[in-house]
Amino acid sequence: MRRKLIFLLVLLCGVTAGFAQSSEKSLKEALDLLTKEKKTRFIFERAVVEGLRVNYNWSDVKSKKAQDVLNELLSQVGLFSLPVGNNYYAIRKSKKPAENNNVNNQPNTIILKTGIREDSVKPVKGTAVTVLRGVVRERGTNRPVEGATIELSPYGLFTVTGKEGAYIFNDAPVARVRLSVSGLSMIGEDRDINLANAMERIQVFQLSTNALGLKEVTVVAKENKHGATSSTISKTAIEHLQAVSLSDVMQLLPGGIATNPDLNGPNQFAIRQIKPDNMGSLGTSIVINGAPISNNANLQAINTSTGGTNASFATSSGGGLDLRQFSTNNIESVEVIRGLPSVEHGDLTSGAVIIKTKAGKEPLSIKARINPRITQLSGSKGFGIGKNGDALRADLDYTRSYDDQRFEYRGYHRLTGSLLYTKKFGQVKPFTTNTGFTYSMNLDEQKLDPDDKRTQAVTKAQDYNFRFNSEGKWELGKKFARQLQYNVMVNYTQQKGFQQQLITGAIYPLSTEMENVTKEGQFVPSEYLSQVWIDGKPLNVFAKITNTFSLRGNWINHRILMGADWKTDANFGNGKTYDLSRPPRMQGGNGFRPRSYKDIPVMNQLAFFAEDMMIANVLGKRMSLQAGIRFDNIQPTGIWTTKKNTVAAPRFNWSYEVMRDLTLRAGWGITAKAPTLLYLYPQNAYFDLVNYNRYSSNPEESLVYLTTRVFNSENPDLRVMKTNKAEVGFDLNLGKKKRLTVMAYHEKTNNGYDFDYSFNSVKIVPLELYKTISTTPGQKPEVNTNTDSFVNFIADYMMPLNFITNTNRGIEFDLDMGRFDAIRTKFVLNGAYMQSRSVTTDYTIMKKQNNGRDPERIAVFDKGRGKKNERFNSTLRIIHNIPEFNFVVSLAIQTIWLERERNIGYDSVAIGYISRATGNFHLLDKAERDALYTAPNTTSRTELVESFAEGYHNVEKWKPIWLFNLRLSKEIGTNFSFAFFANNVFSHQPLVRNTRFTTNYSRRNPDLFFGTEVTIKL
């Protein structure tokens, strides 16, 4: 009996316990319990779970997986779960949700088990829109990321996460879009989603601050899918490359060539051009945080009438910016637009380099980098300010470079510092701003070599730059004012150029006159130290405002952008100064004079632009067309009136999805670059012509008369440089994260600027020769100044001309083969076949002196002189990473399969000549030219015939060559990282005989070069 009683009690307790553990709960209570026990989070609509109850043996929760428990619970009420993150699930009613066509339903409320509640709005009637929402968290800690920017392309929509990391788009288009998330100082993420699928309307992101801990590390340039042909290079790729200047980054582009870091000369970059020249680099716009950095007011040239844009010290006048001035340590991303940029980008021809700098809260980071040429030390820190995710970031960088560490008198120094304040206002209609200040000092100098007693050459170029910039976005949400954006930039630079040389072995006449006059001159000493200073103070001001809004229909959507911008470029420097009695060495009658830059007119540019990004459903396939036009007014006197030029530049980018994984792309348009101040307002040309010259060792007996002639070297007919760009290609998806992009392009730049001689810059000056009447010891000679004895002097000088046409064409390709998880390795192959042709579009005028005397005829050679370069190269990048060890190593195998160069259009015989006697042009007929080819090499013949070395017209061609570059990055713990690189790891530098000049040999490939980097985060 006792045993039965015990048995019944046990049974009763078990049944009671069973009932206790299997009690019924509301689904919301069950999810709360699961969150508490398993640290699981959920996203669901309130209406989905209201009134639903579930039954479960709650004692089994601890022993089972969260996913299994959730499935058992939801199966009781006909729901299902969708994983959207780590231990993060969205709860839905059906696995095949209907389209969001119920536009008249009341707003729903979404609850994120993170304490956030967001209300949607009614979609606009008659349009296909939906609600897209989600949350952004930090990977590992699950902390919400406040202030992250969410962009919806190609529609131009954006929003910012709130305190709990949540975001919402109330009227996102029901279409395929790219959702881009960038957290402050975090690794961004892009997702291509289809909002026609209701399951994709909730997107949860987990961003990481540790790039090397991700499964897939992006250390290459990524080709963009929408709009203009462009590549984006992330900060992870820049850091892995260990780039010390912006020019190093460009080797990641299709067709880019790897080189060793070099800061000992101006670094310039041209897009889709084999060998950068002034026009290619001038036409490349550098845009930092929305504002273009201008080189239009750079006047650091010695004498434009004799040397054009050149100087003995380092200068980039007349060309593009010197990329050495930009440190890469504070760059978040670089986008290089090679195709047709949006019409909001102007004053360019080749393309644009769009730079976004780092912003936001970040631990103190100290970085040291060293290699055989360069030593670099930098630090950065992002401070959180207030409770709205506002932040202030500070960066400091010092770099020094010596071409040869044994000789420190020739080097380059750079110091940069920046502050960037990020501020957000409001939640419903967010207004975000980035306001920054940047200081940089760049010193390129060649100090006095202790062994150089003969020339005592010294050169120095110092730039002190102060830049203020501010950009902001305001999400108004109005029908015709969805998003307003502004950009303001003020850039002031102090440029100091200096050259020194000991002038010996010549005593020549000197004049300091600035007007046309004949008067007594003076003689320079037989030996003196010439020192020239060029003081420039460029001021660049830029302001832009844009308005973006969307118009949506049933089959086509429009994203309309319109705006205006203003640019001012001026130079308030003292200009060129020197001791007037100690000028640089002058030859051929050319004079040298000081010049103040304060007298040069200010250059203004006004622009208006409008653009429509149309996305339509054509024959059941997606088609996009970006069509826009830009109007530029250079030196405006009104909106449509001008002192100089106006340019209308239409641009189009088109794409069509032929099939699911194949998209055709094409583009055509016009880009234009205004001339800089150096081309608009060059210095006058001065000539000091000797009427009478009698030098004696006794200064009292010396006398010289000089006639000074001054010519205005401005070109009133200078036209705006324009480029016609056309391209066609395709994007092919080869599977998950595998993609092939191919683009063929043809770009022709007309009216390229250069300084050269023209018919308008060759003047015949009658010069009267004076004669001695008598001489008296100890006194100046008596001179007859009315002899009526004249000789014609040829005064030829350089002036700005539309002298160059550049033609670039080729095929670019980028093949991303994805990551092979079994071997933890990713393969990326890119490259390009390129042709660059640069020729003159005007006649070449050449005054060939005979033993220092002017010729009787000035030769005129035909148009079309120049060079043609051709290259086909590819780079295979093999990237192996182990996320568990925070380690990545990459090997770049660069192959130059084809490389050729030839001189074109260099006929040795002139087509005509300018007569010294009359100043008239005489065109040679065929018989006269044929006779010159075979005539004896007399003085008369050499005036009209140019001699070329044997082989000058041959094609220089090279055999294929390989280059292997190795890079690795390793993070040790959370506070320390190490990186190493080695270029040309096999030291493969074959000595190859030239095919043009067969007695010459060249070393191909850069030297074996290596460096290391250490980073500490505190």
Mean pLDDT of 767-777: 92
pLDDT at residue 10, as a whole number: 38
pLDDT at residue 85, as a whole number: 61
Domain covering 23-93 assigned CATH 3.55.50.30 in the classification: yes
- Whether the per-residue pLDDT at 87 is higher than 90: the answer is no
**Tokens found for residue 891:** 């090997």
pLDDT at residue 33, as a whole number: 82
CA dist., res. 99 & res. 108, Å (int): 16
pLDDT at residue 23, as a whole number: 64
In which residue are the tokens 């550049």 written? Answer: 806
CA-nearest of 446, 460, 463 to 298 is: 463
Q: Are 754 and 776 in contact (CB under 8 A)?
A: no
Mean pLDDT of 295-310: 94
Mean pLDDT of 688-692: 94
Taken in order 416, 297, 351, 566, the sign of the CA dihedral is: positive
**Tokens found for residue 662:** 């194949």
- DSSP class of residue 713? -
Residue 884, SS3 per DSSP: helix
- Whether the per-residue pLDDT at 539 is higher than 90: the answer is yes
Reported as a single tens digit per residue, the pLDDT across 491-523 is 999 999 999 999 988 788 999 999 999 999 999
pLDDT at residue 122, as a whole number: 37
The structural domains of the chain, with segments of one domain joined by +, span 23-93, 129-209
Record: fold of 129-209: Immunoglobulin-like (2.60.40)
**Tokens found for residue 227:** 């709009």
pLDDT at residue 120, as a whole number: 35
pLDDT at residue 635, as a whole number: 93
Residues 6+ apart with CB under 8 A from 536: 297, 298, 299, 300, 493, 494, 495, 496, 497, 571, 573, 575, 597
Q: How many CB atoms lie within 10 A of CB 354?
A: 21
- pLDDT-based confidence at residue 769 (cuts at 50, 70, 90): very high
- Whether the per-residue pLDDT at 648 is higher than 60: the answer is yes
- Whether the per-residue pLDDT at 17 is higher than 90: the answer is no
Per-position DSSP letters for 229-293, written without gaps between them: -EEEEEHHHHHHHT-SSHHHHGGGSTT--------SS-----TT-SS--HHHHHTEEEEETTEEE
Reported as a single tens digit per residue, the pLDDT across 89-141 is 778 765 433 333 333 333 333 344 433 333 333 333 334 678 888 888 887 77
**Tokens found for residue 185:** 């100082």
In which residue are the tokens 């010549």 written? Answer: 506
Reported as a single tens digit per residue, the pLDDT across 709-749 is 999 999 999 999 999 999 999 999 988 789 999 999 999 99
Q: b/e string for 1002-1014 if b means 16 or more Cβ within 10 A?
A: eeebbeebebebe
Count CA atoms within 13 Å of residue 751 on its CB side: 15
More confident residue, 543 or 363: 543
pLDDT at residue 100, as a whole number: 35
pLDDT at residue 554, as a whole number: 75
- Whether the per-residue pLDDT at 16 is higher than 50: the answer is no
CA dist., res. 1003 & res. 993, Å (int): 9
Question: What rounded mean pLDDT belongs to the chain?
Answer: 87
The share of the chain scoring above pLDDT 70, in percent, equals 92
- Whether the per-residue pLDDT at 609 is higher than 70: the answer is yes
CA dist., res. 354 & res. 326, Å (int): 13
**Tokens found for residue 987:** 């030291």
- Whether the per-residue pLDDT at 322 is higher than 50: the answer is yes
- Whether the per-residue pLDDT at 290 is higher than 80: the answer is yes
pLDDT at residue 674, as a whole number: 95
- DSSP class of residue 989? -
- pLDDT-based confidence at residue 676 (cuts at 50, 70, 90): very high
pLDDT at residue 810, as a whole number: 96
CA-CA distances (angstroms) from residue 77 to 80, 94, 107?
Answer: 9, 11, 24
CA dist., res. 399 & res. 409, Å (int): 16
Reported as a single tens digit per residue, the pLDDT across 33-76 is 888 777 787 777 766 777 777 777 777 777 777 777 887 788 77
Q: How many CB atoms lie within 10 A of CB 366?
A: 15
Q: b/e string for 205-224 if b means 16 or more Cβ within 10 A?
A: bbbebebbbbeebbbbbbbb
In which residue are the tokens 């536009």 written? Answer: 103
In angstroms, how far is CA 277 from the centroid of its own chain?
A: 15
Taken in order 94, 100, 101, 106, the sign of the CA dihedral is: positive
More confident residue, 336 or 25: 336
Reported as a single tens digit per residue, the pLDDT across 885-941 is 889 999 999 999 999 999 999 999 999 999 999 999 999 999 999 999 988 888 888
Query: Pairing state of beta strands 912-915 and 961-972?
Result: unpaired
In angstroms, how far is CA 861 from the centroid of its own chain?
A: 37
- pLDDT-based confidence at residue 763 (cuts at 50, 70, 90): very high
Reported as a single tens digit per residue, the pLDDT across 270-280 is 899 998 888 99
**What pTM does this model have?**
0.84
Q: How many CB atoms lie within 10 A of CB 543?
A: 15
pLDDT at residue 195, as a whole number: 82
Angle between helices 66-75 and 27-38 (to 10 degrees): 180
CA dist., res. 332 & res. 185, Å (int): 8
Angle made by CA atoms 722, 726, 732, in degrees to the nearest 5: 145
Residue 808, SS3 per DSSP: strand
- DSSP class of residue 588? T
